[in-house]
Structure 1
């Protein structure tokens, strides 16, 4: 008998690479269109979909560029299809104009960013330098994406599967924010059964003789009309803030020194917490799963017991701003990170924790 998790039936458990697991999860929740352009370290996503989508009656198309790919996504999404694209940091930058258009036109889609070292062309190793881009909209126009950051291959499956439902629910692009580590590691995963029930999209431009022709656009030349559109969108973003905050924790109940990390960095942080506990340091981990909306309340709940926070990121420090905002600068917030694709070791993080304890920070 199939198992269930969160109301979703799980059909099987197999060993999969992160990138391929993301692709399979998308298919199993109705994604039938993928448009993209190759860039390391996410190439196994389009490679997998190039084979699998035709097997389920879907369409895979390698576009001539990232710019072309995102507008193909816009077209398919406007027609009511469940559609996905994936890329890595520089490719996501090229897609930003189209992503803003989709937010303005209220077109749902799923965008996967497998981050790599930067800036510029950078390096292909996993890193986390795109947090600001992802959580602050990235493109022009005062919009937001719902951004989910898995830390394991199983979580990548679960969040990718759910991302299509969230995109349709809020008529907004949803981003899966991963990195080269998550994309390349292999872990056992339970794959959900295929969801064959897709929501009706009465707003889409697809042919329907029972209603007037729909127009999906992000162009509103009349400023008073555009103002109302923006107000409606931001009301929706507030609904996302109220309903879609996700976070996880480890040994947080009595923690005095709290590491804050997401994605692959959180795996390293968890190991550092175990090492710190073995040496008598009351350390814990608070892991944002939705990096937008950011989980503010759990920070406020533990604030009385915490002496200091340590943001662990594989970059110069971008999430640290959100940690400071969440606690209102009521406690010191420190940062530790390695750059350009260098992976921090748990021993290094432990060393930073010991410094904080010694200095009484």
Structure 2
């Protein structure tokens, strides 16, 4: 019986490593491609340059360029999970370790300008590190009226700050600061708010806030947190939510990409495998990272592509496959018109035409 079981396992593994000439759009097929492909390349018509690699004992998780020259990259040190912050003053060509020496576990980073910035930390009282001198000195702030940790700090056109506050034993709420983080107020505490993944919790677009809710619902509010409408997506685990305009939205969820052209009344699938959105600059043109194949190994291995569409996702101009691009990808930053910085592992790539 044992030998028969081993025989079946071998048959499954051998058959799972078969090579296919085409990858159909549909549910993730059996394991397909076991060849490790280390070189990341651009889709046709684009250039991809490895601008810099930040070498430290940890993993970068966020990047933000302020004015095309000054920028910051937030990392997590492998020894204790503490925050590491790196700064560039030449558009990302070189990076300096700011040596925070802060034993804080970071959630996210946001800079209002080249001097004023924040790192949210685990702590349970909205714990926030604040700098006003470009990261040289930091002051820790806590807020007695808050319960939980801040996620995805963002600002509107008035430089007011917003964040999602969540905790293990607290309800998810949307908070706002009108005084550069010195104080925060809860502006939406709907029981329908949900927060399960670190990649998307809410996004500000013009005068609206799109917030991740429970059961695939997106709650739309004004800038004061007053609900305007609910958008039903029937999707779970939202990874990316790209708002092109109030009618056209593209979303990556568990194992699929869906889009709407009527503000969320109807949704259609454009890719039925795992994917991450880099950007869409109009309803037709966009850049994404798409999964193409998996391999049955003890260590996670998947081959992915960087792809460009000019017809809203009906067809794609694809790069060559590379291994674990999607799992290593953590952030992107608009650099120029249709040019982007991609943070893949601890490597900073520039993708442009």
More strand by share: 2
* TM bracket, shorter-chain basis: under 0.3
Tell me which of the two structures has the higher relative contact order, counting C-alpha pairs closer than 8 angstroms and 6 or more residues apart.
1
Superposition TM-score, scaled by structure 1 size = 0.25
Superposition TM-score, scaled by structure 2 size = 0.26
